[in-house]
Amino acid sequence: MRIVVTGGAGFIGSSVCGALVRRGDEVVCIDNFNDYYVTSSPDGRRFASRKMNNIASLRDDPSFHLQTRDITDRLAMEATWPRAVDAVVHLAARAGVRASFDDVSIYEQTNVSGTSDVLEIAFAHSVRRFIIASSSSVYGTNEKVPFSEDDPTERTISPYAITKKRMEQDCRAFHDAHPETRMTLLRFFTVYGPRGRTDMAPYRIVDRCSRGAPFERNGDGTILRDFTHVSDIVDGLMRAIDTPFPFETINLGNNQPIALNQFIAIAELIVGAKLRIEQKNAQQGDVPITYADISKAQRLLGWQPATTIEQGIANLVEWYNRNPEP
Ligand code: NAD
């Protein structure tokens, strides 16, 4: 198949591109290489080359094509849309919960308008199969756990979550207008592992622990997260590409939430060092728990997360040690 992956140089996207190329698909990676990794950390200049490095091993592969492009630049997207595309995996987004409070409009432009533009342009070029990244954040502060796909999404508490919810609604409307499309929305739950996003706790914990630098922990560390290893997310995504439904929304989560403090304790054991915790107030936008009901993914995709938290953190540490950043 010939597949467009938007956001293909990012954390999840680069792993998806690699997996698709390895199994023989042709991939067109569209990414604007924005400076979010640089601006979202105090020492962010260390990450200036991270996205290019994520796809470095693919650059010489004849099945991999890179288009450095902004999905919100509609004219350029229309003018350069690749020919004969079978499916779009749409991952490009502004993805940080906390940063979304500082620049709501870039989140709306990218996650809401940008997604609509991608759908419309791809559809006009005869693409009918779409796999789109949504987020567990749409469940907000729901108290009923685990979160299942039919649960209400009224209690979102960050601009990021609101944009993902609006994106989901727009996708549904798009499908209603074009029922011949095949569309799967995947709600990812706290993804971690090799190439981990530099603003997320898993990467920051391993990085700070390895360098002896302080880790700013927001709150007391009892928040529960359904940490899901990136290889399991890629597996679910590939199954979704290969199993087109008219329209489905499916959780991809580990189904075993643990406290942030437990993640820290396991990381400390694997790194072999104690993390220096700098205590900060709880962060606006952080929900107390994420916990995926995955019975739908099991039933429809035959998907089951396979990576234990210990193995997943070991994978992240091993990758971190092999890829030193200044
Ligand atoms: P990421 O920031 O590493 O990847 C997103 C990629 O999109 C980046 O490479 C970025 O440069 C690109 N991008 C952003 N705006 C763009 C634009 N206007 N034009 C072209 N490219 C653009 O984030 P990620 O963690 O890999 O997330 C991928 C997707 O998964 C996102 O849609 C995110 O909302 C979703 N998601 C991620 C998680 C997680 O835990 N990482 C959880 C839930 C949902």
What is the C-alpha to C-alpha distance for residues 2 and 83, in angstroms, rounded to an integer? 9
Which protein residues are within 6 Å of ligand 1, measured from CB? 7, 9-13, 30-34, 36, 51, 70-72, 91-95, 110, 114, 133, 135, 188, 190-191, 197
Per-residue pLDDT of 165-189, as tens digits, reads 999 999 999 999 999 999 999 999 9
Under DSSP, the state recorded for 113 is I
Q: Is 36 a catalytic residue?
A: no
pTM above threshold 0.95:
yes
C-alpha 141 – ligand 1 centre gap (Å): 22
Pocket test for ligand 1, best of 12, 73, 170 (most atoms within 8 A of CB): 12
Nearest-CA residue for ligand 1 atom 39 is 191
Per-residue pLDDT of 190-217, as tens digits, reads 999 999 999 999 999 999 999 999 999 9
Residue 261, number of CB atoms within 10 A of its CB: 13
DSSP codes joined into one string, 19-41: HHHHTT-EEEEEE---SHHHHTS
Contacts of residue 224, Cβ cutoff 8 Å, sequence gap at least 6: 257, 258, 259, 260, 288, 289, 290, 291
pLDDT at 46 over 90: yes
Q: Which of 160, 192, 203, 320 is catalytic?
A: 160
Pocket test for ligand 1, best of 191, 204, 287, 290 (most atoms within 8 A of CB): 191
C-alpha 112 – ligand 1 centre gap (Å): 13
Per-residue pLDDT of 135-155, as tens digits, reads 999 999 999 999 999 999 999
What is the C-alpha to C-alpha distance for residues 310 and 188, in angstroms, rounded to an integer? 20
